[in-house]
Amino acid sequence: MREMIDIIVDSKTYKAQNGSLLIDLLIREKIKVPYFCYHESLGADGNCRMCMVEIEGQKRPQIACDTLIKPNMQVRSNSENICKVRTDILELELINHPVDCPTCDQAGECSLQDFYMDYGLHNTKITIQEKVKHAKHVDLGSNVMLDQERCVLCARCTRFTDKITHTHELGIIGRGDEAKVSTMPGRKLDNPYAMNVVDLCPVGALTSKDFRFHQRVWFLQTSNSVCHGCAKGCNIYIDHNKMKYQDDVIYRFRPRRNDAVNGFFICDEGRLSYKDLQENRQESILLYEEETQENKALQELKNLIENYKEKITLIVDANLFTDEIEALVAFAKSISATLYSPLEIYKDENFKDDMLKSANRAANYKTIENLNINTTLPTKNALVINFNHPLDFEADVQINFTTHKRGKNRLTFPIAAFSENAGHLTNEDSIMQECQKAVFKNNPAPTIVEWLQKVRS
């Protein structure tokens, strides 16, 4: 650990590590500094020149992203001179920018727009009418669309493929105003983390083909959640919106920074898992494959529990929230049922990699283990009550509490998916994390805890 020293920024004193990057301090202390190319996960590149600050004793403005903090440093981040420098650099960026914000998906979360409102608002000094033309809407592969005209050449995407995924698909070719981002000849962007470049891109050059044109970002509401794709438990934002007269719909998952778990990124499979969450959902209560009233189905369930006393097997999905699993353990005790959660089905060695993907594709299997729930396959089943476990079991009677539509059973109850419910998860590294309730459906399915209360009453 390097020593902590005092540094003065805009005549206020801050504590910082000797030799750390100045821009990290500015970001941490929420001092306004514009930047395109710097990213905490990718380090300094120093090509966009937006993060200029004045340092006492230096003749010219310096870039904060490549300046190391030294003792007795005095920094000015918002003097008149610096604001003018930033305006001028922004004007350079905008010379060939197509300014097609109306059709650009990034509008609303675009750094170029934000910085223009903060530092630009200038009358351009450029009198050239024709802007340099490049390719628009190039399909790079892996659901990523490239617009070379909107690019500010910050090289975040190329550095991502170089430093993070080590796949080196992207590069900047050409010089001057002919410079553009492109894939290497004959190659496509193809790696399991490719869509992170869409989040990394500060402007609308890289957009997601999956999210493109579906919704303007300022309509979206954001909730904190945790991906249920595997046991890693990557932190995500759920972006959803309830349009007038319509139902609440999830439009995308975005990675949420958590240095202890996933850092800045998530895998593409997890990012696109929001689709499965919304498709083919079980919405009604079924008795012998026919829709039925809630109290009739609950009466049937109570009768079955009464008839099969001591011969009931409860199956628990290892993706449920800890709160739900604990409620089910208590419920199993009260009806003297045996509790199983077969974990073998979740194992997928092909999915595993050395970044974020785990071979254990159950978000909360750690809780199943912590609560000492039997993880083997149940034998000799009379009455099976399955709480969203992906397997079907041989039994005299099977009752399903399920989020998604599945095979024929005596009784089927719809339950809320994780996005429609709040709770906790414990990931494979034993870190407990919270999921907020994101989606508020017009006709919400009850959660497992709500169903258990109904069964008991």
Partner 1 sequence: MSQKTRESSITSDRIKVIPRYGSSLKDKLYLPAIYEGVKVTFKHLFTNLNDSNAIDTLEYPEEQPTDITSRYRGLHRLTHRADDSIACVACFMCATACPSNCIFIEATQREDGHDEKMPKSFFIDTLECIFCGYCVEACPCDAIRMDTGIFSLTGNKREDFVLNKEQLLANKGAFGEEVSCARN
Contact positions vs partner 1 (CB under 8 A):
100-103, 107, 136-137, 212-214, 216, 218-219, 243-244
Instruction: Report in angstroms how near the CB of residue 213 gets to partner 1 at its nearest.
Output: 4
Q: In sequence order, what E strands does 405-453 have?
A: 411-414, 423-426, 432-435
Closer residue to partner 1 in complex, CB, 218/280: 218
Smallest CA-to-CA distance from 416 within 382, 444, 451 is with: 444
Residue among 319, 418, 404 at smallest CA distance from 360: 319
Which residues, including other chains, have CB under 8 Å from residue 130's CB and lie 6 or more apart? none
Task: Report the C-alpha dihedral over residues 300, 306, 307, 310, rounded to 10 degrees.
Answer: 130
CB within 8 A of 430, min separation 6: which ones?
Answer: 366
CB-nearer residue toward partner 1: 166 or 213 = 213
Q: Measured from the CB of residue 206, what is the shortest distance to partner 1 in angstroms?
A: 14
Q: Considering the complex, what minimum distance in angstroms separates the CB of residue 197 from partner 1? A: 19
Task: State the nearest-atom distance from the C-beta of 207 to partner 1, in Å.
Answer: 10
Q: Which of 340, 376, 379, 363 is nearest to 427 (CA)?
A: 363
C-beta of 43 vs 108, nearer to partner 1: 108
Alpha-carbon radius of gyration of the chain? 27
Min. distance of Cβ 181 from partner 1 in angstroms?
18
CB of 244 to partner 1, least distance (A): 5
Minimum distance, C-beta of residue 396 to partner 1, in the bound complex (Å) = 49
Are the beta carbons of 307 and 350 closer than 8 angstroms?
no
Point out which residues pair with 181 in neighbouring strands: 172
Spatial contact of 23 and 62, defined as CB atoms under 8 Å apart: no
By C-alpha distance, which of 108, 118, 109, 93 is closest to 33?
118
Q: Which is nearer to partner 1, 1 or 121 (CB)?
A: 121
Q: Which of 62, 53, 74, 67 is nearest to 8 (CA)?
A: 74
Residue placing its CB nearer to partner 1 in the complex, 98 or 263 = 98
- Closer by beta carbon to partner 1, 136 or else 311: 136
- Cβ closest to partner 1, residue 213 vs residue 407: 213
Of 137 and 188, which CB lies nearer to partner 1 in the complex structure?
Answer: 137
d(CA 75, CA 86): 16
Least distance in Å: CB of 216 to partner 1?
5
Closest to partner 1 by CB, 108 or 263 = 108
Edge-first strand listing for the sheet containing 286-287: 290-291, 286-287, 411-414, 397-402, 383-387, 312-316, 338-340
CA-nearest of 310, 353, 316, 317 to 333 is 310
The full 3-state SS of 164-192, as one line of letters, equals HCCCCCEEEECCHHHCEEEECCCCCCCCC
Strands 62-63 and 74-76: unpaired
How far apart are CB 203 and partner 1 at their closest, in Å? 15
